[in-house]
Amino acid sequence: MNTIIIKVDAEKLRADELDQAAEYLRSGRLVAFPTETVYGLGADALDSKAAHKIYEAKGRPSDNPLIVHIADVKDMEKLAVDIPEEAYRLANVFWPGPLTMILKKNEVVPYSTTGGLDTVGIRLPANKIARDLIAQAGVFVAAPSANISGKPSPTQAEHVINDMKDKIDMIIDGGRATLGLESTIVDLTGPTPMILRPGFITLEMLEHVIPFIQYDPAILMKPEMDLVPKAPGMKYRHYAPEGCLTIYEGDTKAVIKAINREAQSKQEAGESVGIIATEETKPYYPYGTVKTLGSRWDEASIAAGLYEILRAFDDMHTAYIYSESFADNRLGQAIMNRLLKAAGYKVVNID
Ligand code: AMP
Ligand code: MG
């Protein structure tokens, strides 16, 4: 398949620029597009054949549901039933934006989109290209991250091209995804609202709107805890680089020493080594390729750069990657959730 790649600028978007992409979505084809979280791989969510193509292109397990993207808050009522009042409150505050709500699906949503579940994940993205595309297509757009299943999510068109060229119909290059981590997922189908996946919208932010929200206990799950996450996607190995990634946690000086010891010994054995550091610690790592996520105190920059760095180490075929650990509150919760999964929960505690 010949993949058409177009470049658009969200600031200067002309009405006709998305015509072909919108037509492709209407006719059951696959179009990758930027959102504020990561790049999405879109298809008509109510067309089960089109949804099926997404699973094929990504190599995604068929029980891993797709999030349905809408362009208007009212469209929530066309996809879901028994919508609780909390959903309207959350939509009011956080839409358009990086929040996905799980609601009971109605019969128009095919099981091939929801991975066989009676619930559906819905999001109204903030990115202008994404919203205009969905509105112009006039269909609801199922769009998981536009990466090969299991690899780090794509935050740039280049990442999508690497994974999806010749497998999908079109890629819209709209620049870097600004947030860089997938949406926060909130399940509103049970007695207590639950965060199934942490993201840019934090527990603290959600609590201001719906005070009794909780984390799904499986979120910071370690494999030995044997908890089954309610968001099916969270159970698969995810975001993983090719190399062996290990997280070091503990006192900063001790972490630097321990990483340097490992890095030196691997490098002397002829292995390639990568280090994920911060602006503050970068000068203290003499071995391997050192990449920084920005200041330790700038969580937004850490979130935005994480997948990019993992992919950069993939491009270099780095065999061993060592990362510092980050505080796991607020946005740090989402960062650590992705980093732990990427590392397959390999953590060395120095204390
Ligand atoms: P992705 O778009 O690649 O970030 O994946 C979407 C993720 O959303 C899935 O992996 C699931 O974990 C979650 N999800 C989507 N729909 C539902 C649903 N109906 N119930 C629970 N989790 C969902
Ligand atoms: Mg994904």
What's the CATH code of the domain at 152?
Answer: 3.90.870.10
Tell me whether residue 24 is in a domain: yes
CB atoms within 10 A of CB 309: 20
CA dist., res. 239 & res. 149, Å (int)? 8
Helix (H) or strand (E) holding 195: strand 194-197
CATH of the domain at 300: 3.40.50.11030
CA dist., res. 225 & res. 346, Å (int)? 14
C-alpha distance from residue 171 to each of 39, 41, 160, 163, 218 (Å): 10, 9, 8, 11, 34
Dmax of the chain from CA atoms? 62
**What are the residue ranges in the chain where pLDDT is below 50?**
none
Let me know whether 21 and 119 are in one domain.
Answer: yes
CA dist., res. 285 & res. 89, Å (int)? 47
Q: Which residue has its alpha carbon closest to ligand 1 atom 5?
A: 144
Tell me whether residue 48 is in a domain: yes
* Confidence at residue 217, expressed as pLDDT on a 0 to 100 scale: 85
* Confidence at residue 89, expressed as pLDDT on a 0 to 100 scale: 98
Helix (H, G, I), strand (E, B) or coil at 163: helix
This prediction's pTM: 0.94
Cβ–ligand 1 distance for 68 under 6 Å, the answer no
CB atoms within 10 A of CB 24: 22
* Cβ contacts of 107 within 8 Å, gap of 6 or more: none
CA dist., res. 344 & res. 242, Å (int)? 12
Contact 322, 313 (CB under 8 A): no
Phi and psi at residue 106, in whole multiples of 5°? -95, 180
Structural domain span for residue 200 = 4-229
Contact 306, 335 (CB under 8 A): yes
* Confidence at residue 219, expressed as pLDDT on a 0 to 100 scale: 80
Let me know whether 258 and 136 are in one domain.
Answer: no
Give me ligand 1 centre to Cα 194, in Å: 14
Tokens of 161: 């091209």
* Confidence at residue 116, expressed as pLDDT on a 0 to 100 scale: 96
Pick from 37, 60, 67, 228 the residue to mutate for probing ligand 1's pocket: most ligand atoms within 8 Å of its CB.
Answer: 67
Let me know whether 171 and 285 are in one domain.
Answer: no
Tell me whether residue 279 is in a domain: yes
* Number of domains the chain is built from: 2
Q: Give the residue from 205, 229, 253 where a domain finishes.
A: 229
**Which ligand 1 atom is the nearest neighbour of the CA of 233?**
10
* Confidence at residue 340, expressed as pLDDT on a 0 to 100 scale: 92
* Confidence at residue 236, expressed as pLDDT on a 0 to 100 scale: 60
Tokens of 86: 């909390």
CA dist., res. 180 & res. 155, Å (int)? 6
191, burial (CB in 10 Å: exposed 0-12, middle 13-18, buried 19+): exposed
Give me ligand 1 centre to Cα 331, in Å: 19
CA dist., res. 122 & res. 76, Å (int)? 7
Tell me whether residue 235 is in a domain: no
Give me ligand 1 centre to Cα 70, in Å: 15
Let me know whether 142 and 286 are in one domain.
Answer: no
* Confidence at residue 225, expressed as pLDDT on a 0 to 100 scale: 58
Contact 340, 220 (CB under 8 A): yes
* Confidence at residue 328, expressed as pLDDT on a 0 to 100 scale: 81
Pick from 33, 197, 216 the residue to mutate for probing ligand 1's pocket: most ligand atoms within 8 Å of its CB.
Answer: 197
Let me know whether 252 and 222 are in one domain.
Answer: no
Let me know whether 164 and 290 are in one domain.
Answer: no
CA dist., res. 213 & res. 102, Å (int)? 14
Tell me whether residue 292 is in a domain: yes
Contact 196, 230 (CB under 8 A): yes
Let me know whether 176 and 48 are in one domain.
Answer: yes
Let me know whether 113 and 151 are in one domain.
Answer: yes
Contact 177, 35 (CB under 8 A): yes
* Cβ contacts of 180 within 8 Å, gap of 6 or more: 37, 38, 155, 303, 304, 305, 306, 307, 308
* Confidence at residue 226, expressed as pLDDT on a 0 to 100 scale: 58
Contact 140, 75 (CB under 8 A): yes
Report which residue type is found at 230.
K
CA dist., res. 64 & res. 203, Å (int)? 24
Phi and psi at residue 5, in whole multiples of 5°? -115, 125
Tokens of 27: 């006719």
DSSP state of 298: -
**Which ligand 1 atom is the nearest neighbour of the CA of 121?**
16
CB atoms within 10 A of CB 164: 23
